[in-house]
Amino acid sequence: MINSTYGSQRLMELLPFQKMSGTSLLAVGLKSGCILDVVIMIQSLQMMCWWAHDPNGDEFKHHLARVPDYLWLAEDAMKMQSFGSQLATHAVIATGMVEEYGDCLKNAHFYIRVSQIKENPTGNYKGMYRHFTKGAWTFSDQDQGWVVSDCTAEALKFAFSTMSSLLAFPIYEQGFEDQRGYVVQMHISSVL
């Protein structure tokens, strides 16, 4: 099994296949500026792939520079960026403790507003079998550009929850514009 794997790898390194490897998803993602991936595990694997390709290459250095964007060491443990903020804010709103956690909800509301994807992927994203992303939310970081439908649904649910809380408690400086909500609903209905 291992020998056949190595044999197929050698076959893929032949001249006709080298052109195909230049258009791999890793290379396309790097050209579009999308260095971050959906989850940290895949991001780490991509970084190792670029290191195996060229340990001193720019691709590996770009990935290495983005590690602090999704992993950091806090005073109590190592932390990672993910979409848990939507779920935590749902819990606060469900308990009715909006006034007590007003600052927290205000920050979460700001985060949800700024983390919504504003544009579709660059280039021929449909030709790369990508779905449109405008109006949706990602699992972790807006830069990675891969949307997750349940993250989008939870963020929209949070936006609607905060709109009802906005009427009762004026803790939010800005509401959620109708146009942005419409784009989100279009995105969710397109993946159903």
Catalytic residues: 150
- Contact of 139 with 73, CB cutoff 8 Å: no
Give Cβ neighbours of residue 4 (< 8 Å, ≥ 6 apart). none
Q: What is the secondary structure of 91-115 as a DSSP string?
A: HHHHHT-TTTTHHHHHHHHHHHHHH
Per the CB < 8 A criterion, the answer to whether 83 and 146 are in contact is no
Q: How many whole angstroms separate alpha carbon 152 and alpha carbon 185?
A: 9
